[in-house]
Structure 1
Amino acid sequence: MTAPGWGVHDDAGPPADPLELARAWLPDDADPDRPRVTLSTVGTDGYPDARTVLLSAFDQTGFAFHTSATSRKVAELAAVPRATLTVLWPDWTRQLVVRGDVVPDGPEQSSAAWAARSAYLRQLAWHNTDELAGLDLAGRLRRWGAGTPEGQADSWVGYRVQPRELTFWAAHPEAASRRVQYTRTPDGWTWRYRAG
């Protein structure tokens, strides 16, 4: 299978706008099969922290994800509003790393992300708490089976990573892997090739 968009090993230089390339690599926001991405933050203890989240949406304003307001990642982002997102395509041997500042997502975008979630993920947003995790299996099954309230979970919040740096990586079956790294400057984006 051939991946869409400019290839990191192509002889022609990359597009001037990395968000154009990210759009070619990522599925459309309407695609129900949302990419799973690794969200890395700075832990409140100073150590790196990482977990997998769904990429809710992507546009010129950044890369959005949504979570519970009571989650550890929200506390970490309140302390240090910076994060890295890593998107991996194992079948295509491609990877995109996005580093940037994190801002709250707007209510309209959060509502759209909620509407796009599966029934299971909506129920998870309502019930996935430390209290539930502490119950025995019978108690967790009973609570889960009780159903889900109507509407968006009270704890549902969204964030958007506004990129300062994007790095596109690709393997090659007959040569060394290679990266192209874009960095935002006051005048726009600059890029350079980096070792894979």
Structure 2
Amino acid sequence: MTKIMNTLRELKVLQGPFLPFNMEDVPDDPKDLFLHWLEIAIAQGVPEPHAMTLSTADADGFPDARVLILKNLDHAGFHFAISSASRKGRQLSVRPQAALTFYWQKLARQVRVRGPVVDLGPKVGGADFAARPVGSRAAAMLGRQSEVLSEDAELDAALAESLRRVEAEPAAVSDLWRVYAVRIDEIEFWQGAASRRHERLRYRREGDAFHRERLWP
């Protein structure tokens, strides 16, 4: 057994106690349960509780994932904002489906979402862009995310020029900036347990309503 294998085996996981999860007393709409769990995570001091892993696939079906911030949750679904020219933006233009994963380690809770992705349009994207900090807008204006970078000086010069533009034109909006929503076709709430008797509840969309079902751990 290798050193790293031993190290990984010795790491402690799921050291409770954790909050109970009564699956008999849950709302019909999973958005309400998610917001309740999010409020608990915020109150319990979970770091960056709105951080989520976005999983997409490219034209060949090869999966990709990265961590983003949840922007909103409404009837359209879970919102996130990215450049349409980024790798994830290009992937979504070919395969407009995605999965989201939230993990709140302190609470031993996960939420997993799957569904189609919809571009909410330039008005929503522009409003989100305008609300971003100056530095974030300057970085987004570059429009070169994931391109190969030759040297730090090139990046520093481009950022400085973009920052000057944003400060000179505070109302300027990137044409590439978009807000997308993942519609909830399926969402699972996972409550971990030190005993490994985990609790799992899945909602599946059926028309305009959701069917609830428990899952084996």
TM-score interval, smaller chain: 0.7 to 0.9
In the alignment, what sits opposite 1:168?
A: 189
Q: Give 2:38's aligned amino acid.
A: L
Q: Give 1:23's aligned amino acid.
A: L
- In the TM superposition, residue 131 of structure 1 has moved relative to its aligned partner by 8.4
Label 1:74 to 1:62 Cα distance change in 2 as closer, same or farther (>3 A): same
Matched residue count: 185
In the alignment, what sits opposite 1:21?
A: 33
**Counterpart secondary structure, 2:212:** strand
Q: Give 2:130's aligned amino acid.
A: A
The counterpart of 1:110, out of the listed 125, 128, 147, is 125
Deviation readout 1:62-83 (Å, 9 max, x if unpaired): 1111111211212211211111
Question: 33-42 or 185-194, which moves further after superposition?
Answer: 33-42
- In the TM superposition, residue 11 of structure 1 has moved relative to its aligned partner by 5.6
**Counterpart secondary structure, 2:156:** helix
Rounded to whole Å, the distance in 1 between the matches of 2:92 and 2:138 is 24
**Structure (1/2) with the larger helix percentage:** 2
Rounded to whole Å, the distance in 2 between the matches of 1:10 and 1:143 is 53
The counterpart of 2:73, out of the listed 58, 73, 95, is 58
**Structure (1/2) with the larger strand percentage:** 1
Deviation readout 1:122-145 (Å, 9 max, x if unpaired): 222112515875231122122222
The counterpart of 2:95, out of the listed 68, 80, 90, is 80
Rounded to whole Å, the distance in 2 between the matches of 1:42 and 1:82 is 8
**Counterpart secondary structure, 1:172:** coil
Aligned ranges for residues 9-158 of structure 1 at < 5 Å? 9-10=21-22, 12-26=24-38, 35-127=50-142, 129-130=144-145, 133-146=148-161, 147=163, 148-149=165-166, 150=169, 151-158=172-179
Q: Give 1:163's aligned amino acid.
A: I
Rounded to whole Å, the distance in 2 between the matches of 1:16 and 1:132 is 44
Deviation readout 1:7-36 (Å, 9 max, x if unpaired): 772263321111111222336xxxxx6722
Rounded to whole Å, the distance in 2 between the matches of 1:90 and 1:59 is 25
- In the TM superposition, residue 184 of structure 1 has moved relative to its aligned partner by 0.4
Rounded to whole Å, the distance in 1 between the matches of 2:24 and 2:146 is 55
* RMSD (Å) for aligned C-alpha atoms: 2.3
Label 1:93 to 1:118 Cα distance change in 2 as closer, same or farther (>3 A): farther
Q: State whether residues 87 and 146 of structure 2, in contact with CA within 8 Å, keep that contact through their aligned partners in structure 1.
A: no
TM-score by length of 2: 0.75
Q: Give 2:72's aligned amino acid.
A: A
TM-score by length of 1: 0.83
Runs (5+) with no aligned partner, structure 1: 1-6, 28-32
**Counterpart secondary structure, 2:192:** strand
* Structure 1 consecutive aligned stretches of length 4 or more whose deviation exceeds 4 Å: 130-133
- Report sequence identity in percent: 32
Q: Give 2:21's aligned amino acid.
A: H
Rounded to whole Å, the distance in 1 between the matches of 2:208 and 2:91 is 31
